[in-house]
A = this chain, B = another copy of it.
Amino acid sequence: MAAQPASEKHASGEHVEDVQIAGHIIDSLILPKILDLITTGGGTFRIKRITIGQARTDPSFALVEVSASSAEQLTEILGQIGDHGAVPTAQQDCQLVAVDIAGAFPEGFYSSTNQRSEVRIDGRWIEVADQEMDCGVMVDARHMRARCVPMTEAQPGALFVVGHAGVRVFPQERSAQRHEFEFMGSSVSTEKPKGAAIRQIAQELFRTRREGGQTLLVGGPAIVHTGSGEHLCRLLRGGYINQLFAGNALASHDIEQAMFGTSLGVHLERGDLAEAGHEHHLRAINRIRRIGGIKQAVKAGLLTSGIMYECVRNQIDFLLAGSIRDDGPLPEVITDVLEAQRQMRERIHGVTFCLMIATTLHSIAVGNLLPSWVKVVCVDINPSTVIKLNDRGSFQTVGLVTDVEPFLRSLAQELDALERTV
């Protein structure tokens, strides 16, 4: 690592540094987590001072001495626990190194989390903009600005933070979120009450619409295959969804359904599994390509129902990101994945609630981009999608293991009920 820790070396040969942690450090499990990371990182700790909030809402404070046997180990530990809000008391400015190779960070770069963060420049703490995990933090010292930038966009000469000194992270507090979605917890179990969860999601959609928030829906083709398209259309018409991120499959099976009444060749009305029309989705894509795009198809009266039709008619932004399994694809599909990431990044500013339904690929992709304070609910019949999202660090995600069709049907009904009560 390029960055040198500011730690003292004790007579014992130990490298030592004091860190402080503030906030709901006990109630929100942050302190145990930090002590754990110190130990598993090979270090030891000594709690020098601790003040516990007298009630759940009172903040607590802890001063912890971290020891390690080498400077490198100490740096590594400080980096780990820094991501959870432990800040060295010996305050320093962040260290900056200029990019030398386009599209790559300097060695030893600070790797961002999705938590709210600040960097210290000239003795002042500056909030990091565009917070996103797995980025570098680019600093414009003259204008006292800092923001997260992905690796591919690092331009030669730009200054990036290296090491963990001068960076502090404010971890999302678990308790804060509890009030929103009480059904979280061991979220992957299928044996949990579902009615309450669906009601709470409906309330969140309703509140977001009323309060002018932005709801992003990330969806997979199973929405269409399971016959849930009409329920989603009801949400789109109701103004509950402000943006749709999906892939070629959702859009082309939706259009197949609008044109042929089938999805992957299965008649949704009858539910039979006859192969009749397995090629329908290809014909649907071909027709859209012939007319130039989805919007043109709606305008021309070629596409008169379905999810994509409702997006166009209700001026709901949609983004279709490409993947290597795409047939066609539809003209609107962004086939370059970096360009797709760039556009998703741009459009998630302002998103306050994200509902992910039945897609592992797009859910993880969007989960990677969202800051930790955006509420995320991930719905999938397969527990492994929810487990994967959490494994990859999207801890704010509340998972609901359930089936998409009855889920969306019930959600639409709950929204109907909410609308009637107003």
Q: Which residues of A are at the interface with B, using a C-beta cutoff of 8 A?
A: 26-29, 31-32, 35-37, 39-41, 44-47, 50, 52-56, 76, 79-80, 83, 101, 103-105, 107, 109, 111, 134, 151-152, 182-186, 188-198, 200, 221-222, 225-228, 263-264, 266-279, 282-283, 285-287, 289-290, 321-329, 335-338, 340-341, 344, 360-362, 364-365, 368, 381-384, 387-388, 390-393, 401-403, 405-407, 409-410
Contacts and interface: CB of A to CB of B under 8 A. Distances in A.
Given A273-B186, A274-B40, A321-B324, A193 B268 contact: yes
B32 A27 contact: yes
A402 B405 CA distance: 9
Given A185-B273, A191-B225, A194-B405, 5 more contacts: A36-B274, A195-B271, A198-B406, A402-B406, A405-B406
Contact of A222 (B53, B191, B381): B191
Copies of the chain in the assembly: 4
18 contacts: A27-B36, A29-B29, A37-B275, A41-B276, A45-B55, A50-B52, A104-B290, A151-B327, A182-B272, A185-B272, A191-B391, A192-B225, A193-B267, A193-B405, A194-B227, A194-B403, A196-B269, A322-B337
A272 B41 CA distance: 11
A321 B336 CA distance: 11
Contacts of A272: 40, 182-183, 185
Given A282-B151, A322-B338, A323-B323, A189 B409 contact: no
Given A104-B289, A360-B360, A361-B361, A338 B335 contact: yes
A307 to B, nearest CB: 15
Contact of A101 (B190, B200, B289): B289
A381 B322 CA distance: 26
Contacts of A402: 381, 403, 405-406
Contacts of A287: 107
Nearest to A341: B324
Chain B CB within 10 Å — which of A364, A382, A391 has the most?
A391
Contacts of A321: 324
A134 B286 CA distance: 11
A73 to B, nearest CB: 10
Contacts of A267: 193
A124 B407 CA distance: 55
A105 B283 CA distance: 9
Contacts of A186: 273, 387, 390-391
Given A151-B327, A152-B328, A336-B335, A193 B101 contact: no
B195 A227 contact: yes
A26 B32 contact: yes
A267 B42 CA distance: 13
Nearest to A247: B324
A35 B27 contact: yes
A277 B111 CA distance: 11
Contacts of A27: 32, 35-36
A274 B391 contact: no
Contact of A44 (B56, B80, B188, B368): B56
A227 B198 CA distance: 12
A401 to B, nearest CB: 7
Contacts of A56: 35, 39, 44-45
A382 B189 CA distance: 11
Contacts of A46: 54-55
B107 A290 contact: yes
Nearest to A108: B283
A185 B368 CA distance: 22
A209 to B, nearest CB: 22
Contacts of A329: 152, 338
Contact of A111 (B54, B200, B279, B326): B279
A58 B239 CA distance: 55
B387 A76 contact: no
B391 A270 contact: no
